Amino acid sequence: MKTPFILFLTLVLSSFVSPIFAKEPQNLEVIRTKLVKYHDSGEYQNDQAKVINQAMLYLKNRIANNAKSHKSVKMAIVMDIDETSLSNYDDMVRLRFGGTLEEIKQDEDKANDPAIKSSLELYRYAKKNNIAVFFISGRKENSRAPTTKNLNDAGYVNFDGLILRPENYSEKSIVPFKTSARTSVEKQGYTIVLNLGDQESDMKGNHADKSFKLPNPYYFIP
Protein backbone atom coordinates (compact mmCIF):
# COMPACT_ATOMS: atom_id res chain seq x y z
CA MET A 1 0.00 0.00 0.00
CA LYS A 2 2.95 2.25 0.63
CA THR A 3 4.05 2.58 -2.98
CA PRO A 4 0.70 3.79 -4.42
CA PHE A 5 0.50 6.33 -1.62
CA ILE A 6 3.97 7.69 -2.45
CA LEU A 7 2.99 7.81 -6.12
CA PHE A 8 -0.18 9.69 -5.18
CA LEU A 9 1.83 12.11 -3.03
CA THR A 10 4.32 12.68 -5.86
CA LEU A 11 1.48 13.43 -8.29
CA VAL A 12 -0.12 15.86 -5.85
CA LEU A 13 3.18 17.64 -5.24
CA SER A 14 4.07 17.75 -8.93
CA SER A 15 0.69 19.30 -9.65
CA PHE A 16 1.82 22.23 -7.52
CA VAL A 17 5.10 22.50 -9.43
CA SER A 18 4.00 22.14 -13.03
CA PRO A 19 1.82 25.30 -13.26
CA ILE A 20 5.03 27.33 -13.08
CA PHE A 21 5.76 26.12 -16.60
CA ALA A 22 2.18 26.09 -17.84
CA LYS A 23 2.78 29.05 -20.14
CA GLU A 24 6.12 27.95 -21.52
CA PRO A 25 5.85 28.21 -25.32
CA GLN A 26 6.64 25.23 -27.47
CA ASN A 27 10.34 24.68 -28.12
CA LEU A 28 11.49 26.32 -31.36
CA GLU A 29 13.08 23.11 -32.65
CA VAL A 30 9.80 21.24 -32.13
CA ILE A 31 8.02 23.93 -34.16
CA ARG A 32 10.65 23.76 -36.95
CA THR A 33 10.16 19.99 -37.12
CA LYS A 34 6.39 20.47 -37.46
CA LEU A 35 6.85 23.08 -40.22
CA VAL A 36 9.01 20.67 -42.23
CA LYS A 37 6.59 17.79 -41.66
CA TYR A 38 3.63 19.90 -42.82
CA HIS A 39 5.43 20.43 -46.13
CA ASP A 40 7.12 17.04 -46.59
CA SER A 41 3.99 15.03 -45.78
CA GLY A 42 2.14 16.81 -48.62
CA GLU A 43 -0.45 18.26 -46.23
CA TYR A 44 0.61 21.80 -47.06
CA GLN A 45 0.17 21.22 -50.79
CA ASN A 46 -3.18 19.49 -50.18
CA ASP A 47 -4.40 22.46 -48.15
CA GLN A 48 -3.27 24.81 -50.92
CA ALA A 49 -5.11 22.69 -53.50
CA LYS A 50 -8.32 22.72 -51.42
CA VAL A 51 -8.36 26.53 -51.38
CA ILE A 52 -7.55 26.75 -55.08
CA ASN A 53 -10.30 24.26 -55.93
CA GLN A 54 -12.79 26.53 -54.18
CA ALA A 55 -11.37 29.53 -56.03
CA MET A 56 -11.60 27.67 -59.33
CA LEU A 57 -15.26 26.72 -58.77
CA TYR A 58 -16.06 30.29 -57.85
CA LEU A 59 -14.27 31.63 -60.94
CA LYS A 60 -16.08 29.16 -63.23
CA ASN A 61 -19.39 30.41 -61.84
CA ARG A 62 -18.42 34.04 -62.32
CA ILE A 63 -17.40 33.38 -65.91
CA ALA A 64 -20.66 31.55 -66.65
CA ASN A 65 -22.79 34.26 -65.03
CA ASN A 66 -20.87 37.02 -66.78
CA ALA A 67 -21.48 35.34 -70.16
CA LYS A 68 -25.23 35.23 -69.47
CA SER A 69 -25.44 38.77 -68.09
CA HIS A 70 -26.74 41.75 -70.04
CA LYS A 71 -24.21 43.86 -68.14
CA SER A 72 -21.09 41.78 -68.62
CA VAL A 73 -17.91 43.18 -67.10
CA LYS A 74 -14.20 43.09 -67.93
CA MET A 75 -12.97 40.62 -65.32
CA ALA A 76 -9.59 40.35 -63.63
CA ILE A 77 -8.08 38.26 -60.89
CA VAL A 78 -5.28 39.35 -58.54
CA MET A 79 -2.60 36.97 -57.35
CA ASP A 80 0.05 37.52 -54.72
CA ILE A 81 3.49 36.06 -55.55
CA ASP A 82 5.39 34.55 -52.61
CA GLU A 83 3.76 31.45 -51.10
CA THR A 84 0.84 32.04 -53.47
CA SER A 85 2.19 31.78 -57.03
CA LEU A 86 5.81 30.86 -56.31
CA SER A 87 7.23 28.79 -53.46
CA ASN A 88 10.23 29.94 -51.41
CA TYR A 89 10.18 26.75 -49.37
CA ASP A 90 13.69 25.50 -50.23
CA ASP A 91 15.20 28.88 -49.33
CA MET A 92 13.19 29.00 -46.11
CA VAL A 93 14.56 25.62 -45.05
CA ARG A 94 18.13 26.71 -45.84
CA LEU A 95 17.61 29.85 -43.74
CA ARG A 96 15.97 27.69 -41.01
CA PHE A 97 12.72 29.69 -41.33
CA GLY A 98 14.58 32.88 -40.50
CA GLY A 99 17.16 35.00 -42.32
CA THR A 100 17.60 38.73 -42.73
CA LEU A 101 15.55 40.77 -45.21
CA GLU A 102 18.72 41.08 -47.30
CA GLU A 103 19.23 37.29 -47.40
CA ILE A 104 15.59 36.75 -48.35
CA LYS A 105 15.82 39.34 -51.15
CA GLN A 106 19.03 37.74 -52.46
CA ASP A 107 17.22 34.41 -52.69
CA GLU A 108 14.21 35.98 -54.45
CA ASP A 109 16.53 37.68 -56.95
CA LYS A 110 18.03 34.31 -57.91
CA ALA A 111 14.72 33.91 -59.78
CA ASN A 112 14.56 30.14 -59.37
CA ASP A 113 11.47 29.66 -57.21
CA PRO A 114 9.16 26.92 -58.48
CA ALA A 115 5.47 27.51 -59.21
CA ILE A 116 2.84 26.42 -56.71
CA LYS A 117 1.19 23.85 -58.93
CA SER A 118 -2.47 24.45 -58.13
CA SER A 119 -2.04 28.23 -58.43
CA LEU A 120 -0.48 27.82 -61.86
CA GLU A 121 -3.52 25.78 -62.91
CA LEU A 122 -5.82 28.59 -61.74
CA TYR A 123 -3.67 31.11 -63.62
CA ARG A 124 -3.81 29.08 -66.85
CA TYR A 125 -7.55 28.58 -66.50
CA ALA A 126 -8.09 32.33 -66.08
CA LYS A 127 -5.91 33.24 -69.07
CA LYS A 128 -7.56 30.60 -71.26
CA ASN A 129 -10.92 32.18 -70.47
CA ASN A 130 -9.74 35.72 -71.25
CA ILE A 131 -9.63 36.82 -67.62
CA ALA A 132 -6.85 39.33 -66.98
CA VAL A 133 -4.34 38.36 -64.28
CA PHE A 134 -2.48 40.94 -62.22
CA PHE A 135 0.29 40.06 -59.79
CA ILE A 136 0.42 42.35 -56.78
CA SER A 137 3.39 41.72 -54.50
CA GLY A 138 5.20 43.22 -51.53
CA ARG A 139 8.46 42.55 -53.38
CA LYS A 140 10.13 45.86 -54.15
CA GLU A 141 10.22 47.61 -57.51
CA ASN A 142 13.99 46.95 -57.82
CA SER A 143 13.20 43.21 -58.04
CA ARG A 144 11.06 43.67 -61.16
CA ALA A 145 13.49 42.04 -63.63
CA PRO A 146 14.24 38.84 -61.62
CA THR A 147 10.59 38.56 -60.54
CA THR A 148 9.35 38.80 -64.14
CA LYS A 149 11.92 36.21 -65.22
CA ASN A 150 10.99 33.87 -62.38
CA LEU A 151 7.25 34.13 -63.09
CA ASN A 152 7.80 33.47 -66.80
CA ASP A 153 10.20 30.56 -66.21
CA ALA A 154 7.75 29.00 -63.75
CA GLY A 155 4.98 29.10 -66.39
CA TYR A 156 3.18 32.36 -65.60
CA VAL A 157 3.41 33.79 -69.10
CA ASN A 158 1.56 36.73 -70.66
CA PHE A 159 0.27 38.16 -67.40
CA ASP A 160 -1.50 41.50 -67.64
CA GLY A 161 0.33 43.40 -64.92
CA LEU A 162 2.93 43.18 -62.17
CA ILE A 163 2.53 45.76 -59.42
CA LEU A 164 5.41 45.90 -56.93
CA ARG A 165 5.95 47.85 -53.73
CA PRO A 166 7.53 51.26 -54.37
CA GLU A 167 11.11 51.71 -53.13
CA ASN A 168 10.07 54.60 -50.86
CA TYR A 169 7.09 52.79 -49.28
CA SER A 170 7.18 53.54 -45.55
CA GLU A 171 3.92 52.16 -44.09
CA LYS A 172 4.33 49.41 -41.48
CA SER A 173 1.57 47.35 -43.07
CA ILE A 174 1.42 46.13 -46.65
CA VAL A 175 -2.38 46.64 -46.67
CA PRO A 176 -2.43 50.28 -47.96
CA PHE A 177 -0.10 49.38 -50.85
CA LYS A 178 -2.04 46.28 -51.86
CA THR A 179 -5.38 48.09 -51.61
CA SER A 180 -4.20 51.00 -53.77
CA ALA A 181 -2.70 48.54 -56.26
CA ARG A 182 -6.08 46.82 -56.64
CA THR A 183 -7.72 50.24 -57.01
CA SER A 184 -5.31 51.00 -59.88
CA VAL A 185 -6.43 47.79 -61.60
CA GLU A 186 -10.08 48.85 -61.23
CA LYS A 187 -9.21 52.23 -62.73
CA GLN A 188 -8.14 50.38 -65.88
CA GLY A 189 -11.78 49.29 -66.20
CA TYR A 190 -11.54 45.84 -64.59
CA THR A 191 -13.76 44.22 -62.01
CA ILE A 192 -11.53 42.21 -59.67
CA VAL A 193 -13.60 39.09 -59.16
CA LEU A 194 -11.02 37.12 -57.21
CA ASN A 195 -8.03 37.90 -54.99
CA LEU A 196 -5.64 35.12 -53.97
CA GLY A 197 -2.99 35.45 -51.25
CA ASP A 198 -1.37 33.67 -48.32
CA GLN A 199 -1.45 36.45 -45.69
CA GLU A 200 -4.33 38.00 -43.78
CA SER A 201 -2.93 41.33 -44.98
CA ASP A 202 -3.55 40.17 -48.57
CA MET A 203 -7.24 39.76 -47.70
CA LYS A 204 -7.87 43.19 -46.18
CA GLY A 205 -8.90 46.48 -47.78
CA ASN A 206 -11.72 45.36 -50.13
CA HIS A 207 -11.52 46.17 -53.87
CA ALA A 208 -12.03 42.52 -54.77
CA ASP A 209 -15.35 40.64 -54.90
CA LYS A 210 -13.98 37.58 -53.13
CA SER A 211 -10.67 36.74 -51.49
CA PHE A 212 -9.17 33.30 -50.92
CA LYS A 213 -6.46 32.70 -48.34
CA LEU A 214 -3.86 29.98 -48.75
CA PRO A 215 -2.13 28.46 -45.71
CA ASN A 216 1.24 29.83 -44.60
CA PRO A 217 2.57 28.89 -41.16
CA TYR A 218 6.10 29.95 -42.21
CA TYR A 219 6.07 33.74 -41.81
CA PHE A 220 3.82 36.71 -41.14
CA ILE A 221 3.50 39.96 -43.08
CA PRO A 222 1.56 42.71 -41.25
Using CB under 5 A, list all residues that contact Mg ion.
Answer: 80, 82-84, 198
Helix axes 28-40, 43-68, angle to 10 degrees: 50
CB of 199 to Mg ion, least distance (A): 6
Nearest residue to Mg ion by CB is 82
Longest dimension (CA), the chain: 86
Please state, in angstroms and rounded to a whole number, the distance separating the CA atoms of residues 20 and 10. Answer: 16
Our CB check for Mg ion shows the closer of 80 and 113 to be 80
Our CB check for Mg ion shows the closer of 33 and 106 to be 106
CB of 101 to Mg ion, least distance (A): 15
φ, ψ dihedrals at 196, nearest 5°: -120, 125
Our CB check for Mg ion shows the closer of 80 and 107 to be 80
Our CB check for Mg ion shows the closer of 62 and 154 to be 154
CB of 36 to Mg ion, least distance (A): 20
Nearest Cα neighbor of 198 from 63, 88, 41, 56 is: 88
| DSSP per residue, 164-180 | EE-TT---SSSHHHHHH
